Structure formats: structure tokens, C-alpha cells
Amino acid sequence: MGGLTDPDLPDPDEAMRPERLAALPPSRLSASRALVNRMIAQRWRVEQVRFDVDDRARGEAVYRVHAPGRSFDFMVFSFEPVLEGRTGRIIGTNWDMMGSLVEGVASAGDMRRTKEELPKLYAGRATPGTLVWCRSNRSLRLFDHVIDRLAAGRQPDVDELWRAGYLMRNTGLDGNGTFGTRSYLALEDGHPLAAPYHAQMLAAYLMREFSFDLVEHLARAASSAAVRLDPALRRILGLGNGSALGLVFFANNHPALLDRWLTLRFGAVARARRIPAVAGSRDWRRVAELVQRAIRFYDEDPFTYSGFTAAGAVADGLRRIAKRMDDPERAVSTFGDLVDAELGADAVGVFDAILLELRPDEVDALLRRQPVDERLMARPEQSVGELLNLLDGEYAWTERFDMSAPEQRRFRWYKSRDAEEPRRGPVAEVPDGFEWALDLPGDIARLRAALRTIPPETTVAEFLAAHPAERATVTRAQGLAGRRYHSPHMNMLAADFVPARIVRLLNSAFHGLDKTVDAFGRNVLGLLFHGAPTRDDLAAGTGADWIYPAKPGGTR
């Protein structure tokens, strides 16, 4: 399972369509799942070293993570909720907590400077050794419900917990160079957080742990009869997350990273599908067990998916797989023989993720290959004819879009004045706005047309001297030559483009969020660490088999 290529890799013309990318679910290669699995395997320990928070949630806390060979401190600054200026957007001025993940032990000076700099956001600068800045807000109604129940000596209502899924919602995970944080590419070999987005996921995991500690602390402050939150209920509560149009730009701006991750995933799935499917074998029993767990998980999903496949339909596709496994007349030699298009892309994606659980060590080893040099190198010595052949071969998909048609240029992408947040609106409403979109179909069509007016033996250097405006498009095409999964096959200017599909790709498949619900075709909400072990579980060496959690029974 260790290679980067495989003869059974899917055709990019199908795999890179936005609707297919949106159907990719979390797997062992997703950042949050991969991090938790590493923490379990390596017996990471999370220690609460300080918790100076009053009965109105004002104060500070420090958590220390002990990983092999090094430690990390997570500084928490907690606040009493204030509705004014409280928003999930970066323009907010009030959050219920802010945090900073740093390498090593945070000093008193680090705490002081971070507390001063964090609220400044764009104007702030992280202290040396900082990996992530983060912010979150409570789910106010559910948070208060849990406090009231615990203070009364009772457990919260399971249905309420299952419907919301989180006590706190992430409103920002800023790292990889943002605000002066350390880039993951600068992390040395063997660093516990060297894989893309693992530092952000560790900060998110610690925000989740803080939410449990805070709700119990406030319940104890309200009543001496307060009880702790049941560990089973802790596990099903994740960290809420909402993402919007910015992730479309992430996909555009990190094509080499996207290609590497998708190549690893598609290759691992292709190899997993070739595992012999022997009825009654350990692999067979494991797949059957996880399929049943996934069916229950999707059947119990309370959310509505207006733009994505309904959870019940995913469960139905998995039921068909289970039925095929139970059919003694069906000829099956490999697990891939159980898969076909009639199951639905989402159910197939879940089944593929299940197959990756059969060879966990081999799949986890691929994490070391996720980091990639993202620099795109031009080839000025290449001939115009060679570049045209490259465009005709690797960008034939762009010709599906007639960029002269009005509906193909319906929207303009711009940035807001208040916080430079990505926005999308009809061109007529922002006629003078700067276009921030990656118009790959239009760029390729324009470049192709210009190249065809030049003798094919002309060098690209000579071409660019006469057409300097084409440098960025040429560099992207040459720098990504030979890679198959670097750019979603989309026209993000078109009237029928659904941004939430690309947002879901990053949130679900790349980051590992469960229950990713679309909102207005551009936002995606979901849960990080839904079912994941708590820090007490990590210390006890339990909770390794945590995916597809079941709803605990009954109201308490």
C-alpha cells in the first residue's frame, strides 16, 4: 500500500468533478482521524496543568500534551459570553474562548503576550514557537442545558446532545504561517505534527476537551450536588465547525497538496479493493462489522441534507453492500467486487473508507508522504508545441465550459472590505469589483488561443516575453504537469456552480468532519471528533475503535 501511483487510480475526468469530490467521506487519511489514531497508538497524554476560571467562565487554563520526544502547551483564555460582537466570522470582536498551541512549555511571558496579541487577529503576531491560534463559541442553549442538568445531579438529555452534537463551535483555526505561526513545512523530520493540518486538529481536539471541563466547572459552581458528564456522552460530543467560501480558495491555491492527498487516498483505496474477500475471514468479519456500524450511524443521523445525499440514502447503499455480503450465490473474489455505481457515490465512499481500516498500519504510513513541496516551477525552455500538447491532454475538461455564454460568467468572486473575507455575487451587483476567482477554463482557453498563433518551435520564454500576462497560467500548467488530481474540474464563475461541494471536500475528506450539512449552497457545518476518545481514554489506552459512534440509549 506504500506507493504514490496505482494502475487502478480513477479517471480524473470523473473523480475531479465537484459532485464526486463532495461525496468523499472521512477516512483514516483525514487529518482529525489520523491525528487521533496517532495519539492512541503512541499513547499521547493530555494534562491539565492550570485551570483558573471563575464561576462566570472568565479566566485562563493551560493544557500540556506529551507526545513522543516533545511536548506542546495549549493556552486558553476564557470569557463570559457577550452577544454583542459575538460571531463565527473573523470580523468578530468577542469570542467565548481563544487559544494558542505552542511548542514546549509556555512561559508567563508567552501567556501575557498571547493574551494581548490574539484579539488583534490580522494586526497581531504570535510568539515564537506558536503553531496555531484558535477561537470558539459555545452552543449557548445546549451548553446551558448541560450545566443545568449536571448541577441538578443528572445527565443531559441524549436527544438534545445528539441533535446538536457539540458544546463549542470552532470559529477559527489559524496556523501554517498565519499571524506568524510556524509553517508545517518548517517542521523537522519526525515532528509529531508534521502532516498537513495536524497542528490545527490538535488545537481543535483541545478546544473540545476544554468545553467538557468548562461545562463541568460551571455546574460545580452552581451546585455542590453537581455530577460529571458521563464519559459516553463526552465521546459523542464533537467540536462544531462551520466553513464557507474560503475553502474554495484553499483548493485553488494548494493544487500540489490537493493532488498529493487525493493520489494517496485513491491509491490506498485501489489497493484495499484488491484485498481478497474470503467469507468468514478476519477481514470479512471486520468489514461486515463496520458496514453495520456505518448503517446504524447514518440511520441515526438527525440532520437534513438539502444539497447533499441524505443520510438515509447512504445507509440504503450500505445495506445493499451488506446484502451482497450475505448472498452465498454472489461470486466475490476481492472486496472491490462488492462495489458498483448503483450503490451511490456516497455509500461507495464510506465503504472505501471502511476498507482502509483493514490495513491500518499501511494506510497510516502514507501520512509521512502527505507533505509536499508546493512550489510550481516553470519550464521556459519548453516549446510552444509541447505546451499545447500538455493543455490539450491534461486540460481537455475545460472545453466542457463555453465561457462565452452568459451563464458561465454569472458570478464574480471578491473580498469584503471589513475583513477581506471571500464573497460571491452576480457580476451586475459588483461591476467594478476585482475578480478573485481562479478562472481556469477561461485562462486555459485564452492561453491555448494565444499559443496557436505562434510557431510551435517557439520557446515558452519567447512566448511569455510577448505575452507576460500569461505567466501565471503557464507556470501553473507546467508546474503541475503529470499530476492528475490537482484542480477540481469546475467553473466557479458559472450560475450552476455549487461552492459547498468543494467546501465539503476539504471539510469531510481532508479534515475529517462527520455530518457535514450544507447551508445555502456555500457553507458547510459539521462535527470534528464525533465519537473520538477523550484525554482520559488516551491515558487509559482505550477508545481506538471509535468511528461511526452509536447514539447512547434513552433520555437520562
476-507: pLDDT as tens digits: 999 999 999 999 999 999 999 999 999 999 99
Helix (H) or strand (E) holding 275, with range, is none
The CA-based dihedral angle spanning residues 229, 233, 239, 240, taken in that order and rounded to the nearest 10 degrees: -110
Candidates 131, 134, 133; CA nearest to 187 is 131
Mean pLDDT of 532-544: 94
Asked whether 325 and 288 are in contact (CB, 8 A), the reply is yes
pLDDT of 555: 42
Sheet holding 45-53, edge to edge: 45-53, 59-67, 70-78, 97-103, 130-138, 166-175, 238-243, 523-528, 514-519
Percent of the chain at pLDDT > 70 equals 96
- State in Å, rounded, how far the first CA of the chain is from the last one: 45
Mean pLDDT of 19-25: 98
Cell of residue 306, nine digits: 438539502
Helix (H) or strand (E) holding 135, with range, is strand 130-138
| HEC letters along 115-129 | HHHHHHHHHCCCCCC
| HEC letters along 293-351 | HHHHHHHCCCCCCCCCCCHHHHHHHHHHHHHHHHCCCCCCCEHHHHCCHHHCHHHHHHH
Measured distance CA(228)–CA(223) in Å, rounded? 12
pLDDT of 93: 62
Q: Give per-residue pLDDT as tens, 49-91.
A: 999 999 999 999 999 999 999 999 999 999 999 877 666 555 5
pLDDT of 516: 97
Q: How confident is the model at residue 419 (pLDDT cuts 50, 70, 90)?
A: low
pLDDT of 12: 97
Checking if the pLDDT of 114 tops 80, the result is yes
Residue 217 CB coordination number (10 Å) = 21
Q: Would you give the distance in Å from CA 515 to the centre of its chain? A: 12
Mean pLDDT of 130-139: 95
Checking if the pLDDT of 556 tops 50, the result is no
Q: What is the CA radius of gyration of the chain?
A: 25
pLDDT of 5: 56
Higher confidence at residue 448 or residue 416?
A: 448
pLDDT of 3: 45
The whole-chain average pLDDT of the chain stands at 94
Q: Give per-residue pLDDT as tens, 365-382.
A: 999 999 999 999 999 999
Percent of the chain at pLDDT > 90 equals 87
Measured distance CA(203)–CA(173) in Å, rounded? 8
pLDDT of 90: 54
Checking if the pLDDT of 554 tops 70, the result is no
pLDDT of 91: 54
pLDDT of 2: 41
Candidates 430, 434, 427; CA nearest to 407 is 427
Mean pLDDT of 308-326: 98
Q: How confident is the model at residue 92 (pLDDT cuts 50, 70, 90)?
A: low
